[in-house]
Structure 1
Amino acid sequence: MSGLNAAEVSAAYDAVRDDKDDTNWLLISYAAAVGDKLVLTETGTGGIAELASRLDDGQVQYGYVRVEYANDKESTRVKFVLAVWIGENTKVMRKARVSTQSGEVKRVLAHHSIAVTTGDKSELDEQDIVARLRKVGGADYNGGRG
């Protein structure tokens, strides 16, 4: 079993979702020090770019990030993205566990508009993510020009 049910994960998740908290991302990684379980390893306030900079090419990691973007001149939208990171140098057996492990992570980090599974940091470009969020976000009265 992983450490996903730890109070730290729940508190970080709540902080990312809280409109009044500056924390806008969290990162869950495998930690050898605690029996190779998934644990909260970091949180931050620098958005998806900062989260992407913390991803390790030798690991499977799970990021959860708050993305705010202009809907039109008068409003903004807030959406949440789950990033499933599979680094290119990740061990084969760790990669093999992603399909089942990511299901458990998705239950803990349940509220997200899109999930992005990747091993390429360029797929976590904020403009591209916002474009994907607009497609799944419902009515867009500004024709995508927000």
Structure 2
Amino acid sequence: MPQAADILSDPEINQAYEDVRSDKSDTTWLVLKYASASSDNLKLAGTGTGAIAEMTESLADDEAAYAYVRIKLGNDEYSERVKFAFVVWAGPHVKVMRKAKMSFQSGQVKQVIRTYAVEVQTGDRRDLDGEAVTLKLRKAMGANCRFSSLLVGRGCVADFWCR
């Protein structure tokens, strides 16, 4: 198997990663795709300044890709935080061999995309819905009373803490 330095040799990848992480950049996401159907090398396929929905539009059902997304969370304007999600996308029509390689290669990608709160491995666009990813990030942050109205009366511990 190729080394991480080999499959991630595109110099634009690291710069895009730093842009997504930077508070000084408007870039909120990046997508890495394979250079071709038979290649293990990744290339920067796109970046953007919109929400996760914009990033999701760049993912095809027959493609394998990796994405990194910056999301602002907060219960109010005073508690806003920035969190990051790492997405491993294997569309529903991706070949079995590519999916198998991705299980190994995602570890190599994580040598470059190192800092994130949640990882979403999926081939279903519904898992990349803005609310679904935000909920995963909130759960990863710990206490979350914003969604208590969904839980109250269902025997959840949040009933006690979030009243």
Same fold, TM-score > 0.5, yes or no:
yes
Query: How does the TM-score come out when normalised to structure 2?
Result: 0.81
In 1, the alpha carbon distance for the partners of 2:135 and 2:37 equals 39
Query: How does the TM-score come out when normalised to structure 1?
Result: 0.90
Q: Which moved more, 1:113-122 or 1:5-14?
A: 5-14
Secondary structure in 1 aligned to 2:121? strand
Identify which of 131, 134, 141 aligns with 1:130: 134
Which of the pair has more CA radius of gyration? 2
In 1, the alpha carbon distance for the partners of 2:31 and 2:55 equals 7
Identify which of 86, 90, 93 aligns with 2:90: 86
Counterpart for residue 116 of structure 2: 112
The count of residues paired between Structure 1 and Structure 2 equals 144
Q: Is 2:7–2:40's contact at 8 Å kept on the other side of the alignment?
A: no
In 1, the alpha carbon distance for the partners of 2:21 and 2:46 equals 16
Deviations 1:20-63 (A, max 9, x none): 11100000000129955111111001121001111011111000
Which protein, 1 or 2, shows the higher relative CO under an 8 Å CA cutoff with sep ≥ 6? Answer: 1
Q: Unpaired segments of 5 or more residues in structure 2?
A: 148-163
In 2, the alpha carbon distance for the partners of 1:42 and 1:3 equals 17
List 4+ stretches of structure 1 deviating above 6 A.
none
Q: Report 1:23-42 matches (<5 A).
A: 23-32=27-36, 35-42=39-46
Q: Which moved more, 1:118-127 or 1:36-45?
A: 36-45
Identity %: 45
Task: Name the structure where strand makes up a greater proportion of residues.
Answer: 1
Q: What's the C-alpha RMSD, in Å, of the aligned pairs? A: 2.0
Letter in 1 for 2:114: A
